[in-house]
Amino acid sequence: MISKDSIHQRMKKDLFKYLPSEILTDILLRLPLENVATCKCVCKPWLDLIESNYFFKSHFSKSVPALVVSMPTTNSNWFNVFKLEEKPKRKPNLITKFDFPQASTIQGSSNGLLLLKNPFRDHLYVCNPITREFVELRGRLTRPREDCYGIGVSRISGQHKVVYLNPNYDGCHVYTLESGSSWRRVKGVIPSFNCCYSSVAAFASGNLHWFVSNGREIPYICCFDLEKECFTTFSPPLECLKRPIFNKGMLFTLGDCLCFCDDEPKYYCDYDHVIWLLKEYEEVEKCWCEVHVNIRQPPLLEVLIKHPYYGHGLHKRLQPINVYENGDMLMLWNEKHFLYYSKKKKSLTKIGLFG
């Protein structure tokens, strides 16, 4: 005889086994990122479900933005992944942290994936910081040289692609992660340049962007369409081009917008930092909108004076990271210090929330 209690316990134990896949998917989609990574280890059906394209796209669309903080050591690299909540908190939520087994620098990010490069060896990696899984991209194009790299997702096919660019040597090559094959050369005309102001590409609207120049000519933005795999070029903000000497600036991604940060002040004692956002991306004449951030604040000046690079031009480099609903902004200064800008108070404060 089988008691009712034993039947109840068996049904309770095998509940998830007999659930329809639609209901199970709906349950798992409600879990936070850190728990989803753990669920992959429960059984193979759960692993297959979580690694499906449908689950990834559905969960990614609902997930809050995350900030990956890199802390390099001699032979490895520590990564902390934080949630970027809509309302900034005094203590951000830590999603996960892990030690990457190679010395590496971040060369870009897209759809939660990181493009990492070992600056001392010829190794290039694509890493998922949530699952801690990574793949190594092998081939002769992964050299420790001043080449340009980028990672992004094509708009229509949804394929993740890593791009190598050096017009003076090997041209442009693409590595499609879904195919898992090898590097292939891109056909067509490649813009000519001999100076790239940042080897890290900014990914926005299905395109990778580098800020480049060719000798003494006016710098421009080199754009690579990941779907069509072709190049176009366009100008940075026109106000910057009017200056007698204009050769400083960085491209970033802020939300869904391409962002240009002007590192060159109009005057030596100018404390008004300008951030340009490209909102009307598809227009023929690109529409740049400027946002002013005044850094004449004692907390920041104290940081600048104590920093060994003060007075060498690096004190103006501000990288915007996140804009909150109230207009406040989280930024990174000189790749070392996190700063919080209050739009209401017009104040900029150094914070140490992310280690």
More confident residue, 153 or 338: 153
pLDDT of residue 303: 47
Instruction: Among 205-209, 220-224, 306-310, name the one with the lowest average pLDDT.
Output: 306-310
Is residue 19's pLDDT more than 50? Answer: yes
pLDDT exceeds 90 at position 52 = no
CB distance 82 to 354 below 8 Å: yes
Confidence of residue 210 (pLDDT cuts 50, 70, 90): very high
pLDDT for res 309: 43
Whole-number pLDDT of residue 227: 94
- Given this model, what pLDDT does residue 241 score? 67
What letter represents residue 193's amino acid? F
Q: Which of 185-194, 223-232, 239-248, 276-285 ranks highest by mean pLDDT? A: 223-232
Q: Does pLDDT of 305 surpass 50?
A: no
**pLDDT given for residue 311 in this prediction:** 40
* pLDDT value at residue 292: 65
Mean pLDDT value of segment 91-101: 80
Rounded CA gap, 41 and 279, in Å?
42
Q: Using the predicted structure, report yes or no on whether residue 265 has a pLDDT greater than 70.
A: no
Q: How many CB atoms lie within 10 A of CB 340?
A: 17
pLDDT, residue 297, reads 47
Q: How far apart are CA 176 and CA 186, in angstroms?
A: 12
The chain-wide mean pLDDT, for the chain, equals 77
Give the Cα separation of 66 and 92 in Å (integer).
10
pTM of the entire structure?
Answer: 0.80
Q: Say yes or no to pLDDT of 203 above 90.
A: yes
Q: Nearest CA to 210 among 192, 228, 227?
A: 192
Mapped onto helix, strand or coil, the DSSP state of residue 321 is strand
Picking from 97-106, 152-161, 222-231, which range would have the lowest pLDDT averaged per residue?
A: 97-106
pLDDT over 80 at 11, yes or no: no
The pLDDT confidence band at residue 255, using thresholds 50, 70 and 90, is confident
Judge whether residue 213 has pLDDT over 50: yes
Per-residue pLDDT of 279-299, as tens digits, reads 777 765 678 887 766 555 444
What's the whole-number mean pLDDT along residues 212-232? 88
Assign 310 a pLDDT band (cuts: 50, 70, 90). very low
What is the pLDDT at residue 157?
87
What mean pLDDT is predicted for residues 260-264?
72
DSSP 8-state assignment for residue 264: S
What per-residue string of b and e applies to 231-255 under the rule 16 or more CB within 10 Å gives b? beeeebbeebeeeeebebbbbbbbe
Neighbours of 229 (CB within 10 A): 16
Judge whether 69 and 354 are in contact, CB under 8 Å.
Answer: yes
Q: Taking 50 as the threshold, does the pLDDT of residue 269 lie above it? A: no
Task: Please check whether residue 82 is in contact with residue 96, taking contact to mean a CB–CB distance below 8 angstroms.
Answer: no
Give me the mean pLDDT over the 6-12 stretch.
57
User: Above 60 in pLDDT, residue 304?
Assistant: no
Distance separating alpha carbons of residues 221 and 320, to the nearest angstrom: 19
Alpha helices in the chain (DSSP H): 4-13, 21-29, 33-39, 44-50, 53-62, 238-241, 298-306
- Nearest partner of 341 among 352, 326, 331, 354, judged by Cα: 331
